[in-house]
Amino acid sequence: TTALRLCNGEGDGLPGLVLDRYERWGVLRTDGAGALAFARRHEGAVRAALGDSVDGVMLRPREGAPEAWIGPSAPATVTVREHGMAMQVDLLQGQKTGAFLDQRDNRRRVRELSPGRRVLNLFSYAGGFSIAAALGGASQVTSVDIAAGGHAAAQRSMRDNGLDPTIHRFVTADVFTFLTAARARGDRWDLVISDPPSFAPNERTRERAIMAYRKLHEACRAVLAPGGLFAAASCSSHVGLDDFLTTLQLDPPDLHVAEIHGQPADHPVTPSWPEGRYLKFVLLQRDEPR
């Protein structure tokens, strides 16, 4: 891959600092004034971590606009390779540092599971899971997101991979509204992927988030074909794995856990920082009718 994490904050002993590399560009994200000041004092260490082959480093403080820090400003989009898959990344306006690098291995798993399946990707953003599924041989991929800009990026990335985006569907809609209409039409998919933004930004919203996850998972199960696969993800550190699994205990109990995954090895955590293990990616299979 040409997109990877070099520093994962507290997991690497540097709280508030995240350093990612995208092809020939670095992106440093800082959380708080102290982390920003520390980064500016240690510019040499950032350069050393990235090596001599980068064109520049973008600084993306949690509060404030992105800025060119070392070298020129990054272009509007950068194309990276991930397990052989090309993806266009927006280093200036994209989520996190530009892309969801934490889902890298899970995108590869979706690619492996997609041959011949009708795939539904919810909260699709820039289409990482959609591209992976299409490359894996999905018969059709439907991508749903409330923001149309992500669909445009996904279509460009599909073309970069030699795929024809016109055989796939891109729907700009609220996910819950889409699922309600799809269920009423009797639409079904063989693989449903749900990767929403965090429902629990803080501990106070945890219980409400658990209810929202359950509602979402019930709606996803309603459009999942018998024997189909459901990939349910959560990026909230305030909803642990055990609580997240309870939101998948639906009535009737026809979903069974097949696999549980998280973030890749370049997102390390420490025993004193358990909230760093925030990503849950649970793969379930729906029973066939008896």
8-state DSSP, 45: H
Give the three-state DSSP class for 131: helix
Is 28 in contact with 104 (CB distance < 8 Å)?
Answer: no
Options 110, 235, 255, 279, the catalytic residue = 235
Closest alpha carbon to 154 in 163, 208, 146, 238: 163
Give the three-state DSSP class for 236: coil
Give the tokens for residue 179: 């699922």
Is residue 235 part of the annotated active site? The answer reads yes
Closest alpha carbon to 147 in 94, 220, 192, 101: 94
Start-end of H helices in the chain = 33-41, 43-50, 104-113, 128-135, 148-160, 175-185, 206-222, 241-246
Give the tokens for residue 222: 């309603």
Which residues, in sequence order, are CB contacts of 8 under 8 Å at separation 6+?
18, 266, 267, 268, 269, 276
Rounded to an integer, what is the distance from CA 247 to the centroid of its chain? 20
Distance CA 23, CA 193 (A): 27
**Catalytic residue annotation:** 235
